[in-house]
Amino acid sequence: MSAPLWGSITNGVNTLPVVKQCLEQTGLLSASVFPDAARLNQAADALYLRWEGPEFRGQSTFSVDDTRYYEEIIHQDAVIPTRENSWHDLFNACIWMQFPHTKKRLNQLHIDDIQRAGLHPRTARRNRLTHFDECGVVLAVEDSQREVGNALLGALASHAWQEVLWHQRAMWSETIQPFMFGHANLEMMLSPFIGLTGKWLAVCVPDGFSKLPVVEKWQVLDAAMVARINALDNFQPQHILRPLPLLGVPGWWHEQTLAFFQNTDYFRPQRDGVPRTIQLPL
Residue 1 has pLDDT above 60, yes or no: no
- What backbone phi and psi angles, to 5 degrees, belong to 80? -110, 110
Beta strands in 89-175 (DSSP E): 136-142
Cβ-based burial of 30 (10 A; exposed 0-12, middle 13-18, buried ≥19): exposed
DSSP 155: H
Do 96 and 80 touch, CB atoms closer than 8 A? yes
Query: Would you state the pLDDT for residue 158?
Result: 97
Q: Which domain range does residue 13 map to?
A: 5-96
Residue 243 has pLDDT above 60, yes or no: yes
Instruction: Kindly state whether residue 281 falls inside one of the protein's structural domains.
Output: no
Cα–Cα distance, 94 to 20 (Å, whole number):
12
Same domain, 49 and 157: no
DSSP-assigned beta bridge partners for residue 140: 177, 203
How many separate domains does the chain show? Answer: 2
Query: Would you state the pLDDT for residue 6?
Result: 75
Mean pLDDT of all residues in the chain?
A: 94
DSSP-assigned beta bridge partners for residue 80: 56
Reading phi first (left if > 0) and then psi (alpha if -120 to 50, else beta), residue 244 is in beta
Indicate the pTM of the whole model.
Answer: 0.95
Same domain, 211 and 162: yes
Instruction: Kindly state whether residue 156 falls inside one of the protein's structural domains.
Output: yes
Question: pLDDT (tens digit, 9 = 90+) per residue, 41-84?
Answer: 999 999 998 888 999 999 999 999 999 999 999 999 999 999 99
Cα–Cα distance, 37 to 33 (Å, whole number):
12
Instruction: Kindly state whether residue 114 falls inside one of the protein's structural domains.
Output: no
Query: Would you state the pLDDT for residue 3?
Result: 62
Same domain, 210 and 143: yes
Which is nearest to 112 in space by CA: 126, 101, 100? 126
Same domain, 138 and 200: yes
Cα–Cα distance, 213 to 221 (Å, whole number):
12
Total Cβ atoms within 10 A of residue 67: 7
Question: pLDDT (tens digit, 9 = 90+) per residue, 79-104?
Answer: 999 999 999 999 999 999 999 999 99
Residues near 100 by beta carbon (within 8 Å), at least 6 away in sequence? 51, 52, 53, 222
